[in-house]
A = this chain, B = another copy of it.
Amino acid sequence: MPPTDRTRAPRLEEVAAVANVSSATVSRYFNSPGVVAPATAQRIEAAIAATGYLPNLTAGALASSRSRLIAALVPDIAQSIFNDTMEAMIDALSAEGNSVILALTGTTDARLVAQINAALSRRVDAIILTGIVADAAIRAQLRNSRVTVIETWGLPDDPIDIAIGFSHRAIGYALAEFLRDRGYRRPHMIVPRSTRAERRAAAFAERWVANGGDAPTRFEVAVPSHFGQGRQSYRGLADLAVQPDVVVCGSDWIAQGLIVEAQVAGVAVPGRLAVTGFGNLRMAGDMRPTITSVDVDGTRIAHEVNRVLRLRAAGTKLAERSIDVGFRIIARESA
């Protein structure tokens, strides 16, 4: 048995020496467990325990050019509608032995590019984009980089590589139908200035008008959207020429803020004013009144991401470039 040198971490070779095999075999034990003979595996296990060995994934990544590192790029996490999905994704990915590098892109393309380059420098196995990347140059760079790129939440017409998500347009249409069916006639929209929210809003308006309604009025708000915008938006309603009977909010936070302000003003929700949100945050089901919202299945997205990554790792060609996980309108008390 080699002297237990406490100054540096044990290496594969030391484990191998203890188990009386070559380091290649120990490496196989980790990476292709089926290959080593059961008796050998047992000796290796004992040796690992004896040495307290922890694989050096950096060295492994260099040798195999597979880093098991996934970069997840997201605008922010302090107040992000993506957090549920992100959490599910991190859980799912780390369960398979990957680590997730979380990178914040903010709302500027410059930061996005910086984070993409950082991810590329790490030789990540995949870059996961959440939201929509509009800039053509960035899309081109990503496409040329040959790294797996998964766009989530949106479903672009021409994905960079693979897209897993839902159609914001379809949501806009569905909401328009839903509210018309419920008898509302004068919708007003609160639209965060993000490509995604704008797409939903445009689709909503389009369908609303197509169904014979008047073009909905709208306020725009900054991203990330938050509670305060809802309160403020409610107050803005007073200036509208025609008072809405339902407010379609770009996020559940906006909806919540709007409801609180309406209630303080003595306006019953949904009695005198109905409200819908987006994202189906946990709070939406707990609010008083509970908030009608659009649910996106983050766990499903996470599973699909995992599946795609597994197939890619195995070298399988993927059939689809777009995977639609759908959405559901959750009808609750507020509309």
Q: A: which residues have CB within 8 A of B?
A: 54-59, 61-62, 67, 69, 71-72, 76-79, 83-84, 86-87, 90-91, 94, 99-104, 115, 117-123, 226-228, 231, 253, 257, 260-261, 263-264, 282-283, 285-288
Q: How many chain copies?
A: 2
Q: Given the interface contacts A67-B58, A257-B286, does A102 sit within 8 Å of B78 by beta carbon?
A: no
- Cα–Cα, bound, A90→B57 (Å): 22
Of all A-B residue pairs in the complex, the 3 with the closest CB atoms, nearest first, are A228-B286, A102-B102, A227-B283
Q: Return A34 CB to nearest CB of chain B, in Å.
A: 21
Question: Which residues of B lie under 8 Å from residue A54 when comparing CB positions?
Answer: 117, 120-121
- Cα–Cα, bound, A5→B250 (Å): 47
Return the chain B residue nearest A85 by Cβ.
B78
Pick the residue among B226, B261, B263, B285 that contacts A283 (CB under 8 A).
Answer: B226
Q: Is A231's CB under 8 angstroms from B288's CB?
A: yes
Q: Is A100's CB under 8 angstroms from B99's CB?
A: no
Pick the residue among B94, B118, B253, B283 that contacts A118 (CB under 8 A).
Answer: B94
Question: Which residues of B lie under 8 Å from residue A120 when comparing CB positions?
Answer: 54
Q: Is A94's CB under 8 angstroms from B103's CB?
A: yes
Q: Is A226's CB under 8 angstroms from B121's CB?
A: no
Question: Which residues of B lie under 8 Å from residue A72 when comparing CB positions?
Answer: 102
- Given contacts A91-B104, A99-B122, A261-B288, 17 further A-B pairs with CB under 8 A are A54-B117, A57-B123, A58-B67, A58-B123, A72-B102, A77-B86, A77-B90, A78-B83, A79-B83, A94-B103, A102-B102, A226-B286, A227-B287, A231-B288, A260-B260, A263-B264, A264-B288
Question: Which residues of B lie under 8 Å from residue A287 when comparing CB positions?
Answer: 227, 260
Q: Return A233 CB to nearest CB of chain B, in Å.
A: 12
- Cα–Cα, bound, A100→B57 (Å): 16
Q: Return A196 CB to nearest CB of chain B, in Å.
A: 19
Q: Return A112 CB to nearest CB of chain B, in Å.
A: 13
Pick the residue among B102, B227, B263 that contacts A282 (CB under 8 A).
Answer: B227
List 20 A-B residue pairs with CB atoms under 8 Å apart, sorted by A's residue number.
Answer: A54-B117, A54-B121, A56-B62, A58-B61, A71-B99, A72-B102, A77-B83, A77-B90, A78-B84, A78-B282, A83-B83, A90-B103, A94-B103, A99-B118, A100-B102, A100-B103, A101-B101, A101-B102, A228-B283, A257-B286
Question: Which residues of B lie under 8 Å from residue A103 when comparing CB positions?
Answer: 90, 94, 99-100
Q: Given the interface contacts A226-B286, A261-B288, A288-B260, does A90 sit within 8 Å of B102 by beta carbon?
A: yes
Return the chain B residue nearest A99 by Cβ.
B101
- Cα–Cα, bound, A177→B10 (Å): 53
Question: Which residues of B lie under 8 Å from residue A226 when comparing CB positions?
Answer: 282-283, 286
Q: Is A282's CB under 8 angstroms from B79's CB?
A: yes
Return the chain B residue nearest A104 by Cβ.
B90
Q: Is A104's CB under 8 angstroms from B94's CB?
A: yes
Question: Which residues of B lie under 8 Å from residue A227 when comparing CB positions?
Answer: 282-283, 286-287
- Cα–Cα, bound, A84→B77 (Å): 8
Return the chain B residue nearest A60 by Cβ.
B121
